[in-house]
Chain A
């Protein structure tokens, strides 16, 4: 089954304790992205990756890091989490071809993070 898998789904942590949210897709997609969803603000893009070893900042990258060492994985790293990073996080992936139209984004089920 084609899917985007995120872990953990729920996490409560404390300020300053480094954490990683993993994301893996099994569709051989070139493009992967992280979003955060907050009430009244919709989805905001944190970072994205067009392919292995290629990452770029989205709209709200401060306080986050990413890496793309393998095509299927795109972990989101919070080096020193703060309460304003309490949010619902989504990973998404799609096929990317410069000669084609925008591909459909496939989303994971979300990771709800609370930073105390």
Chain B
């Protein structure tokens, strides 16, 4: 089985500062990795995903994440955040050969961008 740990439940930052949201996973098999974002009063939407290939993945709204197999991590980064990035961010993993039913979510990190 897979598990996901998001190391910070809340991350406050100032506008235009860089941010890193940390995600570690545990799995006995190879996995696919995802970050979803939930803006206030909305459902989740896919931010980016790692399936294979380059370990640096770029997503929407200037976010990127790096897959580190040896450290079993998939941290999300943005060099300069905006007020509009205030949202909750969820890391998720799914095993190879698995479908959406095997997707496991972390507990989320609330990013608050202050002016």
Bitwise, A60-80 to B at CB < 8 A (1) or not (0) is 000000000000000000000
Question: In the bound complex, do residue B106 and residue A42 qualify as a contact, i.e. CB atoms below 8 Å apart?
Answer: yes
We find that the number of chain B residues with CB closer than 8 angstroms to chain A is 23
Check: B44 CB closer than 8 A to any chain A CB. Answer: yes
Task: Tell which of B36, B43, B99, B108 touches A102, judged by Cβ atoms closer than 8 Å.
Answer: B99
Give, as a whole number of angstroms, the nearest-CB distance from B87 to chain A. 13
Asked if A110 meets B43 with Cβ closer than 8 Å, knowing A40-B107, A102-B103, the reply is yes
We find that the number of chain A residues with CB closer than 8 angstroms to chain B is 27
**B72-115 toward A: CB 8 Å interface, digit per residue (1/0)?**
00000000000000000010001000111111011110000000
Q: How many A-B residue pairs have CB under 8 A?
A: 63
B52's closest neighbor in chain A, by CB?
A: A101
Q: Are B105 and A33 in contact (CB under 8 A)?
A: no
A33 x B107 contact (CB < 8 A): no
- Write the nearest CB–CB distance from B99 to chain A, whole angstroms: 5
- Known: A40-B9, A40-B107, A42-B105. Is A101-B100 also a contact (CB below 8 A)? no
Whether B100 lies near A41 (C-beta < 8 A) is no
- Complex alpha-carbon distance, A42 and B46, angstroms: 16
Nearest-Cβ distance from residue A9 to partner chain B, whole angstroms: 9
**Within residues 50 to 66 of chain A, which ones have a CB less than 8 A from any CB in chain B?**
50, 56, 58
List of A residues within 8 angstroms of B99 by Cβ: 31, 50, 96, 98, 102-103
Residue numbers in A under 8 Å from B17 (CB-CB): none
Chain A to chain B contacts (Cβ below 8 Å), 23 pairs: A31-B101, A33-B100, A40-B9, A42-B106, A45-B101, A50-B99, A50-B101, A56-B101, A90-B43, A90-B44, A92-B43, A94-B100, A96-B99, A101-B32, A101-B51, A102-B100, A102-B103, A104-B46, A105-B44, A105-B100, A108-B43, A109-B41, A110-B43
Q: Chain A residues in contact with chain B, CB under 8 A? A: 4, 31, 33, 40-43, 45, 48, 50, 56, 58, 90, 92, 94, 96, 98, 101-110
